[in-house]
A and B are shown apart, each in its own frame.
Chain A
Amino acid sequence: MDIFRITRNAWGQETLEGISWDLLPVAFGLGVAFIVGHLIWRSLRKR
């Protein structure tokens, strides 16, 4: 999984294009993990 998008320009030099969109599912997964983690903590605290 890449962190950055990198391309080559006309002279063959590497150019930074932006953040890698491989990280989009990671950001979404982090959100889901946080919600699930909090739901578990919340249900354990209620007992």
Chain B
Amino acid sequence: MALPAQTLSGQASLITRHAPIDRVFHWITALAVLLLMASAFLPILGLKFSWVPLHWITGVVLTAAVLFHAIRSTLFRRMKCVVPRPRDLRDFTQGKRAAKYTLPQKLMHAVLGLAVLLATATGIVMLAKVDTPLWKRDPYLLDASTWGIVYVLHGAAALAILTLTMAHIYFSLLPEKRAYLRSMIGGQMTREEAAVHHDPARWSGNRKGDPRENGT
């Protein structure tokens, strides 16, 4: 006879929140964003070094990671589990627990995701201005005023990413949010930790083959 959940060992009460592939994506993205911000902002602050190669190579890595995540989440996952919906606002204001992602988590993902998408999209265009072993620069791809708009959008996205990354790191370090950081490192959290903000009836850990594995 199966033991009730309460009598199982601590190990058994662990649930999976993030698959290994999602954690690898997250940390590659995190490292890439930090390197991109360092190579973009440190020279502005007066630290002179050859920042262009580091910046464009890291940008290409980030673009590849974002493309991978976009394809995987739209074709092979239930993307709506992370998209903010009116129900999330209703649940949040009424103090109801969420499914896999809370409203603030969904909003952070949406806003930071849009800023990164804008930075990568404009960054891809800006690669035309860099000489690399793979292609020769073509600064006349766009006219001067269009280049200006591309640079403004890239810079605005970079500044937004700076502010949002500060908030993201701050939340991950708060003691009451530590379980989320642990789950992004090791993949798991306990049922008790999950139950604080997540309704077990709507999300109780990822299980292969479970149609509700992502929580909606």
Contact = CB atoms under 8 A, between A and B. Distances in A.
Q: Which of A9, A19, A34 has the most CB of B within 10 A?
A: A19
B166 interface: yes
24 contacts: A4-B152, A9-B144, A15-B144, A16-B145, A16-B147, A16-B148, A16-B152, A17-B148, A18-B148, A19-B152, A19-B155, A21-B44, A24-B44, A24-B45, A24-B159, A27-B159, A27-B160, A31-B165, A31-B166, A32-B166, A34-B163, A34-B167, A34-B170, A35-B170
Interface in B139-185: 144-145, 147-149, 151-152, 154-156, 159-160, 162-167, 170, 174
Closest 7 CB pairs of A and B: A16-B148, A19-B155, A31-B166, A18-B151, A27-B159, A31-B163, A27-B162
A30 to B, nearest CB: 5
Contact residues of B: prevailing secondary structure: helix
A16 B151 CA distance: 8
A4 B148 CA distance: 10
A24 B41 CA distance: 8
B186 to A, nearest CB: 26
A9 B165 CA distance: 36
A39 B177 CA distance: 14
Interface in A1-41: 4, 9, 15-19, 21, 23-24, 26-28, 30-32, 34-35, 38
Contacts of B162: 24, 27-28, 31
A31 B171 CA distance: 12
Interface of A: 4, 9, 15-19, 21, 23-24, 26-28, 30-32, 34-35, 38, 42
A31 B167 contact: yes
Nearest to B171: A38
Given A26-B159, A27-B162, A31-B164, 7 more contacts: A4-B152, A16-B145, A17-B148, A21-B44, A24-B159, A28-B162, A35-B170
A36 B66 CA distance: 31
A30 B170 contact: no
B146 to A, nearest CB: 9
Contacts of B155: 18-19, 21, 23
Given A24-B159, A28-B162, A35 B151 contact: no
